[in-house]
Structure 1
């Protein structure tokens, strides 16, 4: 089978593997919807990776501080109990493992979406772009705008 080297507009395509072969307009429509959903969920995964990365520092710092008496902390910093180093390391390792797993999923998802675009089917490429846009709109809606 010859692979096209420019975009084409057809309702027939093989998407990612031989088992996902589209032969008619109905199949293409369902495939486009599935790819839009996958693209949107991929943006959600990117947001989750960032959230876990932020949370790692917050949870570990929160557990290593003694916040029982803020005034006593200022006057007697040497009397605070030392953080449980083993617990802190265990938490950091757990967060790092979660981030690593999510990163692998993110890389796999990115390559799959790239391969969908590389089918050079215009409908499928538009589906990837729409999915990314919809996902960003949904999952990054509460991002603060940076003031210059």
Structure 2
């Protein structure tokens, strides 16, 4: 290579992947890089599956609490009217936006997005070996952690 990146799919052992310190020059180096890429894909699908699992548990919990609560009381069992507090709607909105569930979901979504961009940049090396490891890793990760198209409908993908 003359410092230029190949813009066609190639199967070379010599590659710079994401960072200048992540270089391959041998077959064993490429194999280790493919394994790392494969594991990153599985981690991506694990985070996505964990978000799905948390959303499903939260949905079941909220449905159960909606059935058990009385329409005359709020979630804390308070009989006080919320109209008596002028800032009650703001507190309700802030409580929903900054709930523990939403904060965990946002953090996991950030990790999932970071992994997605890293994998996209690995594919953009145009190295066929790495592209195959991404495809295989995503397939195995999907099989392990999601595996059902019906469950996919509950979680919006970041990509």
Asked if Structure 1 and Structure 2 have the same fold, meaning a TM-score greater than 0.5 normalized by the shorter chain, the answer is yes
Please say if residues 65 and 83 of structure 1, whose CA atoms lie closer than 8 Å, have aligned partners that are also in contact. Answer: no
**Residue 136 (structure 2) pairs with residue 130 (structure 1):** yes
Alignment map for 1:5-24 (pairs within 5 Å) = 5-24=7-26
- Distance change (3 Å), C-alpha of 1:123 and 1:144: closer
Equivalent position of 2:29 in the other structure: 27
Q: Structure 2 CA distance, aligned partners of 1:144 and 1:109?
A: 22
Aligned residue for 2:99, secondary structure, equals helix
Please say if residues 60 and 91 of structure 1, whose CA atoms lie closer than 8 Å, have aligned partners that are also in contact. Answer: no
**Residue 108 (structure 2) pairs with residue 112 (structure 1):** no
Q: TM-score, normalised by structure 1?
A: 0.77
Alignment map for 1:131-146 (pairs within 5 Å) = 131-141=137-147, 143=148
Please say if residues 15 and 116 of structure 1, whose CA atoms lie closer than 8 Å, have aligned partners that are also in contact. Answer: yes
Shift of residue 66 of structure 1? 3.4
Q: Deviations over 1:98-120 (max 9, x none)?
A: 01001111111101001000001
Aligned residue for 1:11, secondary structure, equals coil
Please say if residues 117 and 128 of structure 1, whose CA atoms lie closer than 8 Å, have aligned partners that are also in contact. Answer: yes
Equivalent position of 1:97 in the other structure: 103
Structure 1 spans left out of the alignment, 5+ residues: 68-76
Aligned residues: 134
Aligned residue for 1:6, secondary structure, equals coil
Q: TM-score, normalised by structure 2?
A: 0.72
Q: Structure 1 CA distance, aligned partners of 2:29 and 2:12?
A: 11
- By percentage of residues, which structure has more helix? 1
Please say if residues 13 and 21 of structure 1, whose CA atoms lie closer than 8 Å, have aligned partners that are also in contact. Answer: yes
Equivalent position of 1:84 in the other structure: 76
Equivalent position of 1:45 in the other structure: 47
Shift of residue 137 of structure 1? 1.3
